[in-house]
């Protein structure tokens, strides 16, 4: 699977690295093997992985088995976004 970064996602990763130490490698691992994938806005998906009492969320689109990262963010609102099966 090829992972494609948008400029916006790259900028957000840099911001989150300075705030919480979230690395590019960590994000790529999370998008390859997320704990959970949920539906997002406008046909996108969101890869989710729990991290540091919160949730790392990575909205992405998928085309031909490749994933394009739209943005990256961390939230403390786990209950709002996590879907229990």
Q: What is the pTM of this model?
A: 0.94
- Count: domains in the chain: 1
- pLDDT digits 0-9 by tens, 17-55: 999 999 999 999 999 999 999 999 999 999 999 998 999
Q: Is the pLDDT of residue 85 over 80?
A: no
Among 73, 78, 77, CA closest to 15? 73
pLDDT the model gives residue 84: 86
Q: Which domain, by its residues, includes 23?
A: 3-81
Give the residue carrying structure tokens 């130490």: 21
* pLDDT average, residue stretch 57-82: 96
The three state secondary structure string of the chain is CCEEECHHHHHHHHHHHHHHCCCHHHHHHHHHCCCEEEECHHHCEEEEEEECCEEEEEEEEEECCEEEECCCEEECCHHHHCCCC
Q: Give the residue-averaged pLDDT of 57-71.
A: 96
CATH number of the domain where residue 75 is located: 3.30.2310
């Amino acid at each position: 699977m090829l992972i494609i970064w948008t400029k916006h996602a790259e900028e957000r990763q840099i911001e989150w690295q300075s705030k919480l130490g979230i690395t590019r490698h960590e994000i790529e691992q999370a998008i390859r093997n997320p704990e959970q994938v949920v539906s997002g806005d406008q046909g996108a998906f969101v890869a989710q992985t729990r991290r540091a009492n919160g949730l790392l969320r990575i909205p992405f689109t998928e085309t031909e088995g490749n994933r394009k990262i739209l943005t990256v963010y961390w939230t403390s609102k786990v209950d709002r976004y996590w879907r229990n099966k």
